[in-house]
Structure 1
Amino acid sequence: MTALGFLYPGHSAEDDYPRIEQLLGSDIRVDLVHTEVGEDAHRVDALKELGTPERLAAGVEQLRLAGAEAVVWACTSGGFVHGWEGAHEQVRTLALTAGMPASSTSFAFVHAAAELGVRRVAVGATYPDDVAELFADFLRRGGLDVLSVEGAGIVMAAEVGRWTEEDVLALARRADRESAEAVLLPDTALHTAALLPALEKELSKPVLTANQVTVWEALRLTDRRVNAPSLGTLFTREPIVQV
């Protein structure tokens, strides 16, 4: 049994995690602890407050007692708003506090793209434009070529959690570009775990979504690889061999 730990802000799409655990169909346990949100707003100042060391540390002990072998900060915007260096420092502090390997959803997107061997990506973000552009900047620092950034202008995560399948598909279609090798949909408040086959069929290319890559990142940290086609191309590919 491999136990994966996640720190998830508030309550929006946390039910994606038990769904993913079920779809993995293996000896994987997903443990999720909710962190304090404060102000629910996709605004830079509020997002920086969301991922402070104190708020993340508050949930770590529960994950440690549950036997988690790695922890991921399951919030895209609560990572990349700190910039590339700041997000690295956030993860380093979390790892030291938790006493186990740690990462965040923001880095999960970069690592997942590398796993698929893709460089040219399109972004469909629920965020306001300024926040969406910060995510694109983060991806560029990670070596990706961002061809398009489509923001939906949603301020509150609670609203994102109520999006329908058609809302998600529409955002992905708007964001996609013919030359993009993959489409990225950030925001762990967005329900996508059940939609990955439909998204990839619609776009005819890999789609990376926040909760999907977050769980994949935790598996990567624990050196586990699980074949789960219902979770998209990311969960079916052999690792890219760097030469």
Structure 2
Amino acid sequence: MPITPFAPPEPPSETTTIGFIYPDHAAEDDYPLAEQLLGGDMAGIKLPVEHIYGTDLHAVPELLDLGSESRLADGAALLAKHEPDAVVWACTSGSFVYGWEGARDQADRLAAVAGVPASSTSFAFVNAAQALGVRRVAVAASYPDDVARLFVEFLGAGGIEVVSMGSADIDTAAEVGELAPEAVVELAVSRDHPAADALLVPDTAMRTLGEINTLETRLRKPVLTANQVTVWEGLRLTGKAPLVRTLGALFGLRSS
């Protein structure tokens, strides 16, 4: 009987492209890692990143400037060559600093200029928590306390109760991006709370994708991190829900 040669699976005929506008440089390598973990070309998923620039200081005036309409329009223009199916502003502090209504207006204006559905990391956290059915969370923030408290207020506006919040008081995104994996794990674990249904780690400048399973194993609860939920939000906008074991409980959900 002749042996049939092995034929590798064919990539999907259609590709879903989600574009990310990322501020400056810190942990943007989480996005190609996510693309790889999600299956990349074989899964028909592309996650291009384009950068906009401003100061990376975690302070309210600088964050308001970073997330301004003109800067995000510049980011959308850079992403246009990728022909994205959705666009996400990959910056938590540069969205929640506007408050709930301001962040909604920011996302709506981004969608208008990009010509595709758009969101931000701040809304990604609320949507991800709701998808997991969690209502009480702990927050492990890298920001200074005054900025971290604005995130707590944003979550509250989205119906998420914060039972505890710890801030590491790190001034710049560049400093956050330099944290070693063990420092990321320690920062997160040390700020969990037993009453929390999940732990939220809100800074996209922090490399977290490689640590999510470690954190969930240690804490025995879902862990939502900024770059993780940002990728998930883009997939949600396009109707994609790939199941993978390497990106935490959130990526074990199947959309209804």
TM-score by length of 2: 0.92
Secondary structure of residue in 2 paired with 1:150: strand
- Contact 1:193-1:211 at 8 Å conserved across structures: yes
52-61 or 124-133, which moves further after superposition? 52-61
Matched residues in 1 for 2:209 and 2:56: separation? 22
Deviation at 1:177, TM superposition (A): 0.9
Residue 99 of structure 1 is matched in structure 2 by 115
In structure 1, distance between residues paired with 2:79 and 2:64? 23
- State the match for 2:49 in structure 1: 32
Displacement after TM superposition at 1:62 (Å): 2.6
The separation in 2 between residues aligned to 1:66 and 1:40, in whole angstroms, is 26
Check conservation: 2:23, 2:51, Cα contact below 8 A.
yes
- Preserved CA contact (<8 Å) 1:5 1:72: yes
1:10 corresponds to which residue?
Answer: 24
Q: Contact (CA 8 Å) 1:11, 1:158: kept in 2 or not?
A: yes
- How far residue 64 of structure 1 moved from its aligned partner, in angstroms, is 2.1
Aligned to 2:168: 152
Q: Given that residues 136 and 146 in structure 1 are in contact (C-alpha distance below 8 angstroms), is that contact kept between their aligned partners in structure 2?
A: yes
186, 195, 198: which one aligns with 1:179: 195
Q: Distance in 2 between matches of 1:211 and 1:197?
A: 14
Q: Any idea what SS the aligned residue of 1:4 has?
A: strand
Corresponding residue for residue 211 of structure 2: 195
2:128 pairs with 1:112: yes
Structure 2 counterpart of 1:123: 139
Q: CA deviation at 1:167?
A: 1.2
Shift in Å at residue 92 of structure 1? 0.7
SS of aligned partner of 2:48: strand
**Structure 1 stretches (4+) deviating beyond 2 angstroms?**
none
In 1: Cα distance, 2:172 partner to 2:160 partner: 27
Q: Distance in 2 between the 1:68 and 1:77 partners? A: 24
Paired residue secondary structure (1:137): helix
**TM-score, length basis structure 1:** 0.96
1:68 alignment partner AA: P
CA contact (8 A) 2:243 2:254 kept: no
In 2: Cα distance, 1:197 partner to 1:174 partner: 16
Q: Secondary structure at the match of 1:188?
A: coil
- Structure 2: distance between partners of 1:92 and 1:2: 21
8 Å CA contact 1:75–1:187 kept in 2: the answer is yes
Give the CA deviation at 1:170. Answer: 1.4
Higher relative contact order (Cα pairs below 8 Å, separated by 6+ residues): 1
- 1:29 aligned partner, one-letter code: K
Q: Residue 46 of structure 1 aligns with which residue? A: 62
Alpha-carbon shift at residue 202 of structure 1 (Å):
1.2
Q: Note the residue ranges of structure 2 that are not aligned, 5 or more in a row.
A: 1-14
CA deviation vs aligned residue, 1:81-102 (integer Å, no higher than 9, x gap): 0011110110011011111000
Q: Which runs of 5+ in 1 are unaligned?
A: none
For residues 130-145 of structure 1, what are the structure 2 equivalents within 5 Å? 130-145=146-161
CA RMSD of aligned residues (A): 0.9
Q: How far apart, in 2, do the equivalents of 1:97 and 1:75 lie?
A: 18
Give yes or no for contact 2:173–2:205 (8 Å, CA) kept in 1: yes
8 Å contact kept, 1:127–1:153: yes
> 1:62 is matched by which residue type in structure 2?
L
Paired AA for residue 81 in structure 1: V
Amino acid across the alignment from 2:33? R
Task: Report the more deviating stretch, 191-200 or 70-79.
Answer: 191-200
State the Cα deviation string for residues 63-85 of structure 1 (Å, max 9, x = none). 22211000000000000000111
